[in-house]
Amino acid sequence: MAKPVIAIVGRPNVGKSTIFNRIVGERISIVEDISGVTRDRIYSQAEWLGKEFNLIDTGGIDLGDEPFLDQIKYQAEIAMEEADVIIFITNSRDSVTDADENVAKILYRTKKPVLLAVNKVDNPDMRAEIFDFYTLGLGEPYPISGSHGLGIGDLLDAAIGHFPEEEEEEYDDSVIKFSLIGRPNVGKSSIINAMLGEERVIVSSVAGTTRDAIDTQFTDNEGTEFVMIDTAGMRKRGKVYESTEKYSVMRALRAIERSDVVLVVLNAEEGIREQDKKVAGYAHEAGKGVIIVVNKWDTLDKDNNTVKDFERDIRSEFAYLSYAPIVFVSAVTKQRLNKLPEIIKRVSENQRLRIQSSVLNDVILDAVAMNPTPTDKGKRLRIFYATQVAIKPPTFVVFVNDPEMMHFSYSRFLENRIRDTFVFEGTPIRILTRQRK
């Protein structure tokens, strides 16, 4: 199920990124440190009172050399298009500016809930300063302080109160949901069209009840059901959509969330770009199955080393995706396209794999015998027991005497041992460490 989206809008310097970081909390830095995922700070998962959502800082969307007013206009439009709730941030220090009024006027056009926040109200005595902001005509302003963390709770309470009713996922759990993600022009639509043409399939496009998604269902020869989740931008192109690559990333994130398996499509002609790494990083972090598809393979002059060299580059650029299979295809010659459904199916099965505790614990015992657990000041990390607690992605809990002592490198070692023993090709796995009570 796609999570609700909150978008932050407002002119520069009002404190958008400060508030973004405050809401997202530690999450980004932890993820960055551990997995080496490349990402920017404009889009992140977040949580408030147990409700998960995605947060966009539209101020971080790079709209190139557009004039200032156009930039904030586009940002507001993106927010109105993408978000379920919009938080419009202003700043008590500057009072109401022309730019604020401009943003407000654009936001009048949306039916979506808009919450007006006045930032930099750093202490309760300053609350009187919010009164000017009533004139923006967007209801009661929320006084907040991003740097002091004041008022953010009330703001988020209001925001989650406006989330739409949760929709049930419309497909059976046995149906494999996948999406193709990649920069514009890498050949996503061409691959899909060729794939759907190849399969002896029953194809049906369903206008999803979920926002504006258009899903395509098909069945392979063995009767496995697939749903291709459209990356919206592929079929719905407009001025704003094309004006920025960053924006197409955001659309892709929605599709990633609803997918079991994500095909990260690269263009063989252009090699690997920063943008590719970001979307792939999101898929990894969301715990989705990942397949790297190198398209336009027909355009290269190949020799014995072409595949090897390309694979080596991918492995070094996408270090955290060491588990992802790589497929070289051409939507034009149809080379290897018929392999894709089979690989998607395999990865999806691996995502759902459950390992028996007894077998898992044997593997852990062997691992510990081979490479003893770390010690600190004469104390040794002790592993008591491990068990798989979830699938999609497979998630393991390791019970220990002191979780602090489970270093990243040791956890990575255990992950590698688990991967060596069981087939988790294409899926991230998670290892959580808990103290045995």
User: Alpha-carbon distance 56 to 356, whole Å?
Assistant: 40
Radius of gyration of the chain (CA): 24
Q: Classify residue 43 as exposed, middle or buried by CB count within 10 Å of its CB (0-12, 13-18, 19+).
A: buried
Helix (H, G, I), strand (E, B) or coil at 349: helix
Question: Of residues 145, 350, 373, 433, which one binds ligand GDP by CB under 6 A?
Answer: 145
Question: Of residues 3, 55, 58, 59, which one binds ligand GDP by CB under 6 A?
Answer: 59
**Amino acid, single-letter form, for residue 222:** E
**Amino acid, single-letter form, for residue 425:** E
434 is in an annotated binding site: no
Contact predicate 84/161, CB 8 Å = no
Based on CB atoms, which residue is closest to ligand GDP, 268 or 414?
268
Binding positions for ligand GDP, 12-41, rule CB under 6 A = 12-18
Question: Of residues 3, 39, 120, 288, which one binds ligand GDP by CB under 6 A?
Answer: 120
By CB under 6 A, tell whether 179 contacts ligand GDP.
Answer: no
Based on CB atoms, which residue is closest to ligand GDP, 145 or 350?
145
59 is in an annotated binding site: yes
From residue 309 to residue 348, what is the string marking binding to ligand GDP with x (rule CB under 6 A)?
A: ---------------------xxx----------------
Residue 419 tokens read as 């991967």
Question: Of residues 38, 102, 110, 189, which one binds ligand GDP by CB under 6 A?
Answer: 189
Nearest to 280 by CA among 307, 312, 252: 252
Based on CB atoms, which residue is closest to ligand GDP, 12 or 36?
12
120 is in an annotated binding site: yes
Question: Of residues 188, 277, 278, 288, which one binds ligand GDP by CB under 6 A?
Answer: 188
Q: Classify residue 65 as exposed, middle or buried by CB count within 10 Å of its CB (0-12, 13-18, 19+).
A: exposed
Residue 253 tokens read as 């994130």
Q: Which residues pair with 205 in a beta bridge?
A: 216
User: Alpha-carbon distance 325 to 37, whole Å?
Assistant: 18
The region of 117-125, 284-292, 359-367, 393-401 touching ligand GDP under the rule CB under 6 A is 117-125
User: Alpha-carbon distance 435 to 381, whole Å?
Assistant: 11
232 is in an annotated binding site: yes
231 is in an annotated binding site: yes
State the binding site for GTP. 10-17, 57-61, 119-122, 182-189, 230-234, 295-298
Residue ranges that bind ligand GDP, judged by CB under 6 A: 10, 12-18, 59, 119-120, 122, 145-148, 182, 184-190, 234, 295-296, 298-299, 330-332
